[in-house]
Chain A
Amino acid sequence: MFADEAALVRACLAKKPDAVRALVERFQADVFRLCYRLLTNQHDAEDVSQEVFLRIFRSLHRWDGQRPLRPWIMGIAVNRCRTWMAQSKKRPELADYLQETTASRPEDDSAELIAEIAAGVAELRPEYRAVFVMFHEQGLQYEEIADALEHPVGTIKTWLHRARMEVLERLRSRGMVPDNAGS
């Protein structure tokens, strides 16, 4: 119905109910996943995701139609998560995150690997985590991530490189990689 982002935004600015709902439904999964990865708590992520969409519609008139909508929305989500974390003054509850992750882990041979990856991502610094999630889970490109986080592409590459190395180090230290690999 709203294949074009610009048309969708125009309809939202015109306060068309179907457009508002369409925009929420189109981006809610990405926004929630990013919030969940950053906050590591489902309830917090749900609350912050709602705040994100409130912010989106408050500032939708300032969106530059020449730029893609998704990184702009992801940038708002990251900023809201930062604010939330700064206000809550508490560290991410890793135990809660792991518990929920374990409860919903897939029933296949890679369950342990996926759990270790999730735990490794949860231990990353927030900026590393955001870059890792946006790149590996949401498929954003370096330029889009840089646009969302308002940092140079070089910085984003450095953060993602370090995030990968930390996760890889965790996988290896947890024995996910066989010692006789390649032999």
Chain B
Amino acid sequence: MKNDFANPDSTECRLVQEALQRYMDGGNGDLSPELLTHRSVCPNCLSQYQAATLLRGAAKRVPCPSLGSAWTDAAVAAIWADTAARSQPRRAPWRVVAWLTIAAALLLAVGVWKPWQQHEIVREGTLARTSTPPLYVDKGLDEARTLVVDLTRRTADGAVPPTRNLIPAEVPASPLAVKDSLPRAVEPAAESLEEIRHGAASGLEPMANSARRAFAMFLNEVPALPPERKPDS
């Protein structure tokens, strides 16, 4: 096996190598008489110097393919095409990305803000302020009142005709005459009253249910109050 090139521990070899680098840089690589003697007796330095001489003379002769005029034409055409494309007004990609980022941030902010807006945040016994739609109590009451009035009117309208049947068509002039004429009408009147009771009950039932629902709606609209804390808690 051949020895390595310059021995780094040898001062002479290191100096010869430095001279060799100057020679490869284009200088003459002159050596002092002592180093010339060393190079002539040191096989590593000698072979290194001869290899450097070969390399210096042949490095520029290493072949390389050449580019033809077709490549030049294609390159120039590509340059003009690129120049034309870049001169077109267009949005830079970073601007598009920036706009997309802003839009995404807005969507995210709305998505976070909406649920937060619709829920109460109670912290440390304090009813946090929320931005839920304002609750209008008078509006709910108005609706409930209108509903009750409508139902009452409808029920009353339905109860009026049977009630009128209880009233004689011809009212006697004196109360005694009425008293005399009543006994025969007692039995039918009892049946009519029963019908009225059932009619009223069935008529009032939806009203009661509606009123109950209206009141339940009202209670649902009223925000829940935080639990009261004990003074010592």
Contact = CB atoms under 8 A, between A and B. Distances in A.
Interface of A: 15, 17, 20-21, 24-25, 28-29, 32-33, 36-37, 42, 45-46, 49-50, 53-54, 57-58, 100-101, 104-106, 110, 113-114, 117-118, 121, 132, 136-137, 161, 164-165, 167-169, 171-173, 176-179, 181-182
A54 B74 CA distance: 12
A34 to B, nearest CB: 10
> Would you call the interface of chain B mostly helix, strand, loop, or mixed?
helix
A165 B60 contact: no
B75 A50 contact: yes
B58 interface: yes
A146 B21 CA distance: 18
B54 A113 contact: yes
Contacts of B61: 106, 110, 114
Interface residues of B, number: 35
A20 B80 CA distance: 9
Interface string B57-73: 01111111111000110
> Would you call the interface of chain A mostly helix, strand, loop, or mixed?
helix
Contacts of A121: 62
Given A20-B76, A114-B58, A177-B51, 14 more contacts: A28-B71, A29-B66, A29-B67, A46-B67, A50-B75, A53-B75, A54-B82, A110-B58, A117-B55, A117-B59, A137-B62, A137-B64, A169-B5, A182-B39
Contacts of A17: 76, 80
Contacts of B46: 181-182
Contact of B55 (A15, A33, A167, A181): A167
